[in-house]
Structure 1
Amino acid sequence: MELQQLRYFLAVASEKNITRAAEHLRLSQPALSRQIHQLEDSLGGPLFERSQGGVTLTERGYYLAEHAKEMVRLADKISANLNTATPVSGELYIGGGETRTLTSVITTFKQMKQLHPDVKLRLYSGNGDDVIDKLDRGILDFGVVIEPVNLAAYASRELPHVDRWGVLTRRDSQIGNRTHLETADLLDLPLILSEQSLVDRHLSDRLGVDLGEAEVVATYNLLYNASLLVHAGIGHALCLDGIINTNGTELVFVPLNPSLTSSVHLIWKNESHLSNVASTFLDMFDEREKTT
C-alpha cells in the first residue's frame, strides 16, 4: 500500500466515478483503474462496488477511507515542515474547541506570520474529544481545550482569559429578559446540551444540579447548529459566552448565577519533538504572554 495509491483511492471515493477522478488527477482511466485494483489486491478485497452509474464504497472501503484521509494529511504535514525553503516556514496545525479565548493563539500566529511570511496555519474546529484524538495521533501540533481535561499526558499553557457559562435563548422566551439564570432553573427548561463526553458530568458537579434529570431535547458538538435550534424555539442551549454573536439578533446569552467559568489551555504532547514552525510559535506565544 503506497501513499500515492491512497491519494488515488480517496479521489475515486470523493468523485464516486473513476472517469471523473481520472480527469481530476490527470491520469488515464485505465491507469487509475489499474492502481485501484492493485490496492484492492494488496488489501485482500474490493474497496468499491461497481455499477454503470459509478462506484460506492464497500464496508472495507469505508474503513480505509476514514484512515487514509488521516494518513495522507499526516504525510502532507511532515512533508510541508521538512521541505522548507527558509529557516521558519511550513504549516502549523492547531485544533480548538469553540472559545473566544482562541483569539490569543490567533494573535500570536499573526505576529509570527509578520516575521515569517512563509508559515501557514491549518486550523481545525472540533470539540475537546476530537481535538485530543487528533493531537494524540500526531495530526495536530497543538490543541486548545476547555476544562474539564486531563492534562497529565500533555504539556500545557493556561490561556489568560476564562470562559463564562450560561444559556443561549430567544429574547422573547420566558428567560430572555433575565439578567442571570439560577442554576436550579435549568431543571425546569428544555435544554440543548453539549455532546462532549465529560462536560455534562463536570457541569453537574459544579452546578450542584444533576443535568441527567433535566429535559434534554437535543445535543450538539458545535454551537452554531445548536443556535439554529434555539432560534427555532426548540430549547435553550447551555454553552459558553461569546461564541455566538447575538448583537442585532433574536438571541441573547443569559449567564448563570452563581457565576460558572472554565479555564482554557493550549496543550501539546509531552516529550514530543515539535517541528521548527511549532517550536517557534510556542516561543512567541510564551514571549507574548510575558508582556501582556
Structure 2
Amino acid sequence: MEIRVLRYFLEVAREGSVTHAAQRLHISQPTLSKQLKDLESELGKKLFTRSSFSVRLTEEGMLLRKRAEDILDMVDKTEEEFKSLGGITGGDIHIGCAESAGIKYLARCIKAVKEQHPGIRAHLYSGDTNDLAGRLEQGLLDYAVIAQEVDLSKYNYLELPWADVWGVILRRDDPLSTKESLGVEDLLDKPLIVSRQGLREDLPRLFGEKVDHLNVTATINLAYNGSVLVREGIGYLLSFDKLANTSRESELCFRPLSPRLETHLYLIWKRYQVFSPAAELLLDKLRAAF
C-alpha cells in the first residue's frame, strides 16, 4: 500500500467524485480510477459504491479513511521532524488541548519560542482526555494538556499553575441565577448538558451516589456549543468557568458549585519520548516557566 495511493484515496473520499479529485490532484481520471481499483484488489475489499456522477464509501472504505488519515498524519509529522533536524530555523509542534482558560500559560511559552524562532509553527488539537491520550500514543501529538490526574506509569508531566473551577452555565433570567453558588440538590431535577468525558468520569466525582438520579439531556465535546444549547433554553451546562461568555452583557452567567470543586491542568508526554528540536525547545521553555 503506497502513501501516494492513500493520498489519492482520501482525496476521492473527500470530494465524493473521481473527476473532481483527479482535477485537484492534477492527474487524469483513468489513471486515478486504475489506482483505486488496484487498491481495492490489494485489500480484497470494495471501497466505493459508484454511480453516474459520484462515489460513496462502503463500510470498508470508511474504515480505511480513518486509518489513512492517521497514517498520513504520522508520515507528514515524521517528514516535518526530519526537515528540522539540521537546526531550529523552523519546525512543527503538535499539541492536544483540553478546553481550559489555563491554556494561556501554554500560549505564552509558544509565543516566547516563536519570538526566538519565527519559523516554528504550533498545531493545536482540541479533544477530551481519551481522545488526546490516543493521539499521543499513536505519535500524532508531541504533548497533550489534560484536566485530569496523570498516569505516571505512562507519562511524564508538568503541572500548569492553574486550577479550573467547576460550576454551571445557565441563562441570566433563570431563577437559579439569583444564587451565588449551586449545590447538588439544585441540579437533581434539572436538564443537564455535560461533556462526554464528564459523563464517564466527572459526574460520579461531582455527584457521588446521586449521579444515577441526574437528568442528562445532552452531551457535548466543546463548551461553546454547550453554551449555545443553554442560550436556547435546552438545559444547564456543567462546565469549567471562563469557557463561555458570561459577562454582564451576555444572556448567560456562571455559578460555581458548592462545595467548591477544582481540577488541575497538566501537560503530559510519553515516557522516553524522542522530540523534534522544535518540540524540545518548547519543553525547555515550559520547564523554565513552571
Would you call these one fold, judging by a TM-score over 0.5? Answer: yes
Q: 2:194 aligned with 1:188, yes or no?
A: no
TM-aligned CA deviation for residue 175 of structure 1: 1.0
Residue 178 of structure 1 and its aligned partner are, at CA, apart by 1.8
1:260 aligns with 2:264: no
1:273 aligned residue: 274
Alpha-carbon offset, residue 186 of structure 1 = 2.1
> Is the contact between residue 184 and residue 209 of structure 1 (CA under 8 Å) also seen in structure 2?
no
Q: CA deviation at 1:148?
A: 4.4
Amino acid at match of 2:139: G
**Distance in 2 of aligned mates of 1:181 and 1:238:** 11
- Alpha carbons 1:192, 1:237 under 8 Å: kept: yes
Trace 1:56-135 onto structure 2 (pairs within 5 A): 56-84=56-84, 87-88=87-88, 89-135=90-136
SS of match in other structure, 1:94: strand
How far apart, in 1, do the equivalents of 2:176 and 2:206 lie? 22
**In structure 1, the residue corresponding to 2:102 is in which secondary structure?**
helix
Aligned residue number for residue 54 of structure 1: 54
Structure 2 CA distance for aligned equivalents of residues 63 and 285 of structure 1: 38
Structure 2 runs not aligned, ≥5 long: none
Q: Does the 8 Å contact 1:99/1:163 carry over to 2?
A: yes
> What is the CA distance between 1:187 and its match in structure 2?
1.1
Corresponding residue for residue 232 of structure 1: 232
* CA spacing shift, 1:97–1:75, aligned 2, 3 Å: same
Instruction: Give the corresponding residue for 1:164.
Output: 165
TM-score, structure 2 as length reference:
0.95
In structure 2, the residue matched to 1:2 is 2
Q: How much has 1:212 moved relative to structure 2?
A: 2.1
Q: Tell me the secondary structure at the aligned position of residue 118 of structure 2.
A: coil
What secondary structure does 2:188 align onto? helix
Q: How far did residue 204 of structure 1 move?
A: 2.8
State the 1:153 CA deviation.
1.1
CA distance in 1, matches of 2:204, 2:60: 41
SS in 1 for 2:46: coil
Query: How many angstroms apart in 1 are the aligned matches of 2:219 and 2:271?
Result: 32
Aligned partner of 1:222: which letter? Answer: L
Supply the distance in 1 between the matched residues of 2:215 and 2:168 (Cα, whole angstroms).
14
Q: 1:174-207 CA deviation, whole Å, 9 max, x = no partner?
A: 21222111233221322112211x6654443354
Q: Is the 8 A contact 1:148 1:202 kept in 2?
A: no
1:179 corresponds to which residue?
Answer: 180
Question: Closer, same or farther in 2 for the Cα pair 1:143/1:199, shift >3 Å?
Answer: farther
CA distance in 1 between counterparts of 2:59 and 2:200 reads: 33
Cα distance change on mapping 1:138 and 1:85 into 2, 3 Å: closer
**Number of equivalences:** 288
> Given that residues 98 and 147 in structure 2 are in contact (C-alpha distance below 8 angstroms), is that contact kept between their aligned partners in structure 1?
yes
Distance 1:8 1:254 in 2: 50
- Residue 24 (structure 2) pairs with residue 24 (structure 1): yes
Cα distance between partner residues in 1 of 2:211 and 2:152: 25
Offset of residue 39 of structure 1: 1.2
Q: Deviations for 1:123-175, whole angstroms, at most 9, x for unmatched residues?
A: 10111111111111110000000024534311111111100000000000121
Describe the shift of the 1:201–1:14 C-alpha distance in structure 2 as closer, same or farther (beyond 3 A).
closer
TM-score (norm 1): 0.94
Percent of matched pairs sharing the same residue? 39
Quote the Cα distance in structure 2 between the aligned partners of 1:149 and 1:251: 33
1:84 to partner: Cα distance: 2.8
SS at match of 2:174: coil
